[in-house]
């Protein structure tokens, strides 16, 4: 079967994964309004293409945190890749290494960070971190990934508690016994405490606050990127606390239902941050023109969550490569058809020094 667009991978995954696994990946919180709006919001945005400006040469390369990647799409942290494909995160890591883009490894990986790095030693990676009640747990992970050559920490700040995902409750979702949250192997004793998504419930610290950014800075030299910012007020606080980047994200609509689509939140955040740090966005990106819209609105790079998992479910490493390649091809085409200049992202000037009036999409 020829895979033409990301939806083809979604359909394949839905057909081939077990119902409980599919439901887990697909889940949004409560009524899934925010999850669904993440996609619809992109469809509401219209581009204003310019023509007759020679688009015969296009270059999709960009940099994130000073490192060049082949195009502005990375992999967002998602848990439990071994549920979709036996080699799990190792396959994801190989695919992103091959395409030279950024892979944010989830703390809740079903391969250990050591296995992931060994599988793709030259890959460019960031590590997604949560703040645990026992700070030692977070600290040990930080030192571990630093030593392994991870290039940034992505602190997820939108999970003081886990959102209510109805189907996971109905299905009594559990990791099958042969899979483990490998980064915590041997850390938690077998206890009678109920588990939540592979680790004991109530392990995350709901009292996490801005001062924890200072704590994190005190134990690492890695750049810190906060993931889960949706307002200009929090974006300003993030800059004031000295972080190096923001991922505008609502966790794929899995946390607060009723919050904004991430692409809608991006606009005010780009505005207030005004270029002081890099802004990225995830949630609902399914086509190359979605990528273009996010960049035109000021994101430096976008990240995909579920589509990478669908690629894994289809054909492991090869499937993730195909997903990324399709997005790359579509992005390149949209860029040419809209005459979008990568150098223009962030509203800079065109090669010839003219303003980029007309390059920006209109919001209907
Ligand atoms: C199955 C699944 C697991 C996720 N696990 C994590 C995680 O471990 N840590 C995290 O910060 N975000 C996690 N996320 C959120 C993603 O990083 C990302 O914000 C979201 O998937 C983007 O939306 P998209 O799936 O529409 O691309 C998860 C999302 C999904 C769908």
Domain boundaries, the chain: 6-363
Q: Token pair for residue 217?
A: 């800075």
Gap between the Cα atoms of 150 and 208, Å rounded: 23
What's the gap in Å between 305 CA and the centre of ligand 1? Answer: 5
**Binding-site residue set for glyoxylate:** 24, 165, 251, 254
Q: Which of 17, 40, 78 is the pocket-test mutation for ligand 1 (most atoms within 8 Å of CB)?
A: 78
Examine the pLDDT at 340 and tell me if it is beyond 90: no
Predicted pLDDT at 327 = 98
Kindly report the average pLDDT of the chain as a whole number.
93
Query: Please, what is the end-to-end C-alpha distance for the chain in angstroms?
Result: 37
Residue whose CA is at the smallest distance from ligand 1 atom 4: 78
What does residue 200 show for φ and ψ, rounded to 5 degrees? -60, 140
Band of the pLDDT at 344, cuts 50, 70, 90?
low
- The packing angle between helices 6-16 and 19-26, to 10°, is 140
Cα 56–chain centre separation? 31
**Stated pTM of the model:** 0.94
Residues with CB under 6 A from ligand 1: 25, 38, 76-79, 106, 108, 128, 156, 227, 249, 251-252, 254, 282-285, 304-306
Contact between 133 and 203 under an 8 Å Cβ cutoff? The reply is: yes
CA of residue 240 relative to chain centroid, distance: 23
Does the active-site annotation cover 178? no
The 10s digit of each residue's pLDDT in 228-252 is 999 999 999 999 999 999 999 999 9
Confidence of residue 192 (pLDDT cuts 50, 70, 90): low
Tell me the CATH number of domain 6-363, given options 1.20.1290.10, 3.20.20.70, 1.10.274.10, 3.40.50.2000: 3.20.20.70
Under the banding of pLDDT at 50, 70 and 90, the label for residue 281 is very high
Ligand 1 centre to CA of 240 (Å) is 26
pLDDT digits (tens, 9 = 90+) for 320-330: 999 999 999 99
Ligand 1 centroid to residue 304 C-alpha, Å:
8
Distance CA 277, CA 90 (A): 30
Residue 315 burial class via C-beta count within 10 angstroms: exposed 0-12, middle 13-18, buried 19 and up: middle
Query: What are the distances in angstroms from CA 59 to CA 54, 69, 196, 226, 339?
Result: 13, 11, 44, 28, 12
Mutate to test the pocket of ligand 1, among 33, 42, 77, 113 (most ligand atoms within 8 A of CB): 77
SS3 245: strand
Asked if residue 344 lies in contact with residue 359, where contact means CB atoms within 8 angstroms, the answer is: yes
Ligand 1 centroid distance, CA of 130 (Å): 13
């Amino acid at each position: 079967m020829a895979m033409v667009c990301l939806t083809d991978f979604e359909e394949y995954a839905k057909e081939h994964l077990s119902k409980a696994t599919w439901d887990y990946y697909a889940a949004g919180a409560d009524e899934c309004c925010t999850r669904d709006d993440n996609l619809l919001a992109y469809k509401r945005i219209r581009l204003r293409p310019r023509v007759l400006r020679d688009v015969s040469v296009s270059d999709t390369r960009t940099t994130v945190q000073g490192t060049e990647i082949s195009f502005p799409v990375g992999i967002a942290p998602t848990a439990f890749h071994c549920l979709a494909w036996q080699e799990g995160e190792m396959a994801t890591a190989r695919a992103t290494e091959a395409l030279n883009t950024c892979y944010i490894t989830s703390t809740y990986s079903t391969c250990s960070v050591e296995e992931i790095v060994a599988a793709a030693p030259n890959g460019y990676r960031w590590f997604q971190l949560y703040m645990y009640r026992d700070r030692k747990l977070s600290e040990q992970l930080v030192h571990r990934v630093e030593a392994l050559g991870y290039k940034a920490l992505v602190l997820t700040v939108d999970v003081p508690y886990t959102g209510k995902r109805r189907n996971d409750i109905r299905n009594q979702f559990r990791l099958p016994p042969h899979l483990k949250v490998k980064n915590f192997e041997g850390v938690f004793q077998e206890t009678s405490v109920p588990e939540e998504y592979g680790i004991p419930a109530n392990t995350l610290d709901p009292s996490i606050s801005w001062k924890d950014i200072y704590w994190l800075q005190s134990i690492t030299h890695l750049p810190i990127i906060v993931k889960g910012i949706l307002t200009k007020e929090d974006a300003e606080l993030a800059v004031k606390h000295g972080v190096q980047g923001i991922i505008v994200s609502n966790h794929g609509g899995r946390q607060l239902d009723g919050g904004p689509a991430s692409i809608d939140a991006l606009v005010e955040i780009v505005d207030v941050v005004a270029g002081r740090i890099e802004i990225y966005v995830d949630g609902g990106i399914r086509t190359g023109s979605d990528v273009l819209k996010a960049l035109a609105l000021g994101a430096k790079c976008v990240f995909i969550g579920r589509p990478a998992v669908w690629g894994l479910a289809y054909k492991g490493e090869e499937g993730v490569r195909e997903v990324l390649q399709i997005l790359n091809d579509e992005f390149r085409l949209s860029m040419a058809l809209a005459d979008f200049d990568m150098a223009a992202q962030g509203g800079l000037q065109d090669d010839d020094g003219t303003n980029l009036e007309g390059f920006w999409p209109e919001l209907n």
